[in-house]
């Protein structure tokens, strides 16, 4: 029995009508939102008029398709299709301009490889010695909590955190920070107000800064003199700030920091004389960040160096043995450092057999195996490490995911 093809004209009519109504409502809400201010006026005007035109096109397409608009001596299908195509382009243009308003004008190209305007990539620090105060501590807070309202395309109060230059310049009320004087800095005043205050920042609906984030901003202004290029170790800091920064860097919450046994300074001096670079991660905890530079390991017995380090093994929390010629048998010594949380053994000729020596590192949270000879067999060892969160396996024979 012949059955006619399913006819969808009714559904198309309803869809176009609902689309037109939705576009009208969106245009009205967009206009109300624009009254809040802070948007690029040219971009806002283009978005508004493209939205209005698209709304009109949607209703015209609906009227045309239900034959409310009569076009004499013309086949109706052609103008219908033409109107739908034009309306589709209108939606695309309006949506793109709206995205530029909310996410920035370069939101489509910001992370493409050929984009020459990318911020210089800041690598995560391996120790407190490498921490850049602004880039590692302050900028991530601004990007997460402030930049959505203060950037190119949307500068509330004419303030932008897009670049260091625009940040220094400030907004319509002048500069937002006074180096060395947080109490006179507008950004500190606003972030410390009562959330119900009209001047409170971030504005209503945005997630406010945490107490630790506020402390970092105040400390950056007062102690680092609001510098954009100073190192953490070159800035006055106390044990409390050490603990906050260490937590941000991945040592875990402050509650998880423990005080390890004290170490004889003579022993530490002996190890540093032998080439080790040793730093205390958090003041007063005796938690150590230890690095053996490859240049210090050349032409020397690595066995003897590691056995010397074994004397303070319980205090080693971060260990960097990158590119020192580490072999499988050396990992048996490293595996005895039971408080290890971060381990770099990349660029060494170690294999799956040597990795078995690390099985007892229950506190390990990060391991770098870049350019080693390990294979998928090593994953059996890593999967038993319950606290392990970061594994770097580029340029190895590991093909599976952890």
- Summarised one tens digit per residue, pLDDT across range 147-182 is 777 766 666 777 888 788 888 888 888 898 999 999
**pLDDT number for residue 279:** 87
Instruction: Give residue-wise pLDDT tens across range 342-398.
Output: 999 999 999 999 999 999 999 998 999 999 999 999 999 999 999 898 899 999 999
**pLDDT number for residue 106:** 61
Residue 382, SS3 per DSSP: helix
Q: How far apart are CA 8 and CA 204, in angstroms?
A: 45
Tell me how far apart the terminal alpha carbons of the chain are, to the nearest angstrom.
58
Query: Number of H helices and number of E strands within the chain?
Result: 14, 8
Instruction: Give residue-wise pLDDT tens across range 7-27.
Output: 666 777 888 889 889 989 998
Closest CA to 380 of 362, 355, 345: 355
Residue with the larger pLDDT of the pair 37 and 286: 286
The rounded mean pLDDT for the chain is 83
**pLDDT number for residue 206:** 75
- DSSP H or E segment with residue 166: helix 164-169
Closest CA to 49 of 93, 81, 105: 93
- Answer for the pair 317, 282: CB distance below 8 angstroms, yes or no: no
Query: CA of 246: how far to CAs of 25, 125, 252, 253, 317, in Å?
Result: 49, 11, 8, 9, 12
- Answer for the pair 340, 314: CB distance below 8 angstroms, yes or no: no
Q: How confident is the model at residue 33 (pLDDT cuts 50, 70, 90)?
A: confident
Strands, E assignment, 214-338? 277-280, 288-291, 316-320
Lookup: tokens for 253: 């919450």
**pLDDT number for residue 30:** 86
Question: Would you give the DSSP letter of residue 202?
Answer: S
135-144, 295-304, 320-329, range with greatest mean pLDDT: 320-329
């Amino acid at each position: 029995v012949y059955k006619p093809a399913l006819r969808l004209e009714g559904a198309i009519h309803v869809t176009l009508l609902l689309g037109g109504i939705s576009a009208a409502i969106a245009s009205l809400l967009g206009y109300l939102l624009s009254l809040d201010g802070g948007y690029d006026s040219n971009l806002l005007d283009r978005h508004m008029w493209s939205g209005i035109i698209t709304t009109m096109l949607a209703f015209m397409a609906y009227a045309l398709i239900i034959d409310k608009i009569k076009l004499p001596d013309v086949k109706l299908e052609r103008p219908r299709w033409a109107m739908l195509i034009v309306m589709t382009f209108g939606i695309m243009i309006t949506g793109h301009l709206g995205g530029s308003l909310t996410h920035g004008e370069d939101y489509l190209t910001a992370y493409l490889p050929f984009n020459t305007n990318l911020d210089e990539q800041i690598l995560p620090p391996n120790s407190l010695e490498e921490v850049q105060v602004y880039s590692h501590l302050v900028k991530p807070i601004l990007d997460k909590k402030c930049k959505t309202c203060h950037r190119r395309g949307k500068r509330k109060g004419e303030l932008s955190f897009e670049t260091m230059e625009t940040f220094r310049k400030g907004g319509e009320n002048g500069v937002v920070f006074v180096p060395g004087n947080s109490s006179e800095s507008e950004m500190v005043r606003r972030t410390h107000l009562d959330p119900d205050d009209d001047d409170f920042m971030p504005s209503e609906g945005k997630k406010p800064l945490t107490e630790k984030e506020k402390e970092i901003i105040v400390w950056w202004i007062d102690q680092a003199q609001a510098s954009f290029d100073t190192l953490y170790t070159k800035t006055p800091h106390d044990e409390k700030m050490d603990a906050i920064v260490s937590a941000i860097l991945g040592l875990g919450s402050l509650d998880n920091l423990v005080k390890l046994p004290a170490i004889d300074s003579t022993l530490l001096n002996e190890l540093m004389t032998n080439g080790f670079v040793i730093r205390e991660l958090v003041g007063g905890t005796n938690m150590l960040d230890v690095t053996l530079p490859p240049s210090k390991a050349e032409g020397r017995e690595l066995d003897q160096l590691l056995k010397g380090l074994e004397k303070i093994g319980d205090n080693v929390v971060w260990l960097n043995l990158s590119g020192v010629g580490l072999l499988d048998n050396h990992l048996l010594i490293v595996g005895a450092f039971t408080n290890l949380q971060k381990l770099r053994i990349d660029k060494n000729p170690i294999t799956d057999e040597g990795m078995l020596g690390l099985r007892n590192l229950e506190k390990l949270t990060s391991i770098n195996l870049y350019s080693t000879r390990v294979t998928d067999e090593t994953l059996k060892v890593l999967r038993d490490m319950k606290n392990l969160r970061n594994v770097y396996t580029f340029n190895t024979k590991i093909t599976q995911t952890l």
